[in-house]
Structure 1
């Protein structure tokens, strides 16, 4: 391990060991999430997506077991249920979340429309929690995994069951979804989760998308929809899940690999070089993350547990590689 990687590992370990303790700036190092009770070895909760509203300093977390959406504040140690699940607005599960400049919250439904035929694949809410749209993609077997807001203000959702990206936008009060890019001829669909984490390149001309089951990154040109592989120099990115970009740094949350990989991404999103591969807490499986006031907020999914047991948490840490 390089000196830089070792330093990043030690810094990350220090933050994780201090989880739950107040920081000098009075921001908690972890945030408690609501969850379902465990009764006779059943029940419990699991989580996946996180969105962040910089204007209000609130974050939103999705619960896969029921589809509840929880909301927390950066300075409060406990989040609360914001939107009910268990069929509310046709939502029984939820995955990726993001927030746009207007405070609207976009929720990816994962297999919601597969497990409940006719149910929505995604939802859009305003900051007050009012439902703005509940949409189906019209594509069979669509598993909407993650979502990012593009430079045009539209939301772009990935499909983990096919090499597709969906675009969701509002015009004159009407919301619509369409298949924006279908890269089936370029990206082979493999067993497991295909397209997942998604970010906008620094030059705002492309989307960079993770294919976690094979450990690859793909570049989608925002003007043409053309797709090409991101050159990563052989960096190990298997189990890539959530992506976070700031400037030329790209953080890759590699869930069951229990690693946070830092890459230096070119402005056009065509190439990336390895900066550090930092082990995360071996007792947690982090899925997605958002950058909030200089810290990464990572969701502890509980995906490694047959029944998700409390404590249910979002963990905050200083990003490695900065």
Structure 2
């Protein structure tokens, strides 16, 4: 893509999403540059540590984790990939209240039998845990920190949610919920994005290949369909929740959908469906100081070429 085309499409996306000059300043860049490999890099997950104003981005091509500051326009490699700690690829990233960074491995354990499915690091990059689910064909996609402090992780190859917890220095991962018989596994990526409901009593999970949302009760683990009144949510990938606002990043559909989510997570109503940059496939996002930090995956490019970026958006609110 030419510089002129890139500038035009960025301007279009900024206009559609309400991104103005006021949000792009020396103190708050409008995009963040990611390092990449000479042969091309692709990206997916993002975590944000509000306490240190630090974002973490996962690279699927190699499993590197990149880290940057909110006030700096450039990120740097934080954790090496290509087999480091048994990690050849990485997907979802999240940060808990202690600054510990959780990394979901996607198909890492499928492509490399016996390799970990998930890792936990402290703020200094020290490995705290490298865990295997023990579940065949598990694709660990995205994760959220629950009200109990545990991490809940989706399986894109089965209707399952895993729970990752630490007790007395010992880490464990187990199948917390299995909705087989309730959620039909379809072709493609199934469970992906995950957030906590506004009342903090349930998890809301996206099933992107069929465009559905599911509610998992945190007390019982039972899954029920979220009533979305038929909203088109196909390609739902990353979910971001603040209060009763739910933003759905729909990757290859190139749409950011805004919904009003009931406090208990049982219903959601579509408020807007905003086109995003047609030359980007956006995957996951985190809210940081009122803006969405959104990963440009490069999934639409056979061989990815720079720039590799996290872009910013003003989330639509109604």
- When normalised by structure 1's length, the TM-score is 0.93
- The CA deviation at 1:12 is 3.5
Alignment-derived partner of residue 33 in structure 2: 32
In 1, Cα distance between equivalents of 2:25 and 2:67: 23
Q: What per-residue deviation string (whole Å, max 9, x for no partner) do you get for residues 23-80 of structure 1?
A: 247210000000001xxxxx20000000000000000000000000000101000000
Counterpart for residue 94 of structure 1: 90
Residue in structure 2 matching 1:260, options 235, 256, 277: 256
The aligned counterpart of 2:115 is 119
Could you say which residue in structure 2 is the equivalent of 1:296? 292
Structure 1 residue ranges without an equivalent (≥5): 1-7, 38-42
Work out whether residues 26 and 71 of structure 2, in 8 Å CA contact, stay in contact via their aligned partners in 1: no
State the Cα deviation string for residues 69-100 of structure 1 (Å, max 9, x = none).
00010100000000000000000000000000
SS at match of 2:19: helix
Aligned to 2:208: 212
Question: How many residue pairs end up in the alignment?
Answer: 307
Q: Which residue of 1 aligns with 2:4?
A: none
Q: Which moved more, 1:132-141 or 1:23-32?
A: 23-32
- 2:7 is aligned to none
Q: Name the CA distance, whole Å, in 1 between partners of 2:165 and 2:16.
A: 38
SS at match of 1:114: helix
In 2, Cα distance between equivalents of 1:263 and 1:300: 22
Q: Is the 8 A contact 1:50 1:289 kept in 2?
A: yes
Residues 1-322 of structure 1 aligned to structure 2 (within 5 Å):
11-13=15-17, 15=19, 23-24=24-25, 26-37=27-38, 43-322=39-318
**C-alpha distance in 2, partners of 1:199/1:25?**
31
Give a deviation string over 1:201-247, Cα, whole Å, max 9, x none: 01000000000000000000000011100000111000000000000
* TM-score, structure 2 as length reference: 0.94
State whether residues 9 and 278 of structure 1, in contact with CA within 8 Å, keep that contact through their aligned partners in structure 2. no
Secondary structure (helix, strand or coil) at the match of 2:109 reads helix
CA distance in 1, matches of 2:146, 2:299: 29
Structure 1 vs Structure 2 CA RMSD: 1.6
Q: Give the distance between the partners of 2:238 and 2:294, measured in 1 at CA.
A: 9
| SS of corresponding position for 2:279 | coil
* Aligned equivalents of 1:312, 1:198: Cα separation in 2: 25
Distance 1:176 1:102 in 2: 17
1:11 CA drift (Å)? 4.0
What is the DSSP-based 3-state SS (H/G/I as helix, E as strand, rest coil) of the residue aligned with 1:72? strand
SS at match of 1:257: coil
Alpha-carbon contact 2:285-2:293 (below 8 Å) kept: yes
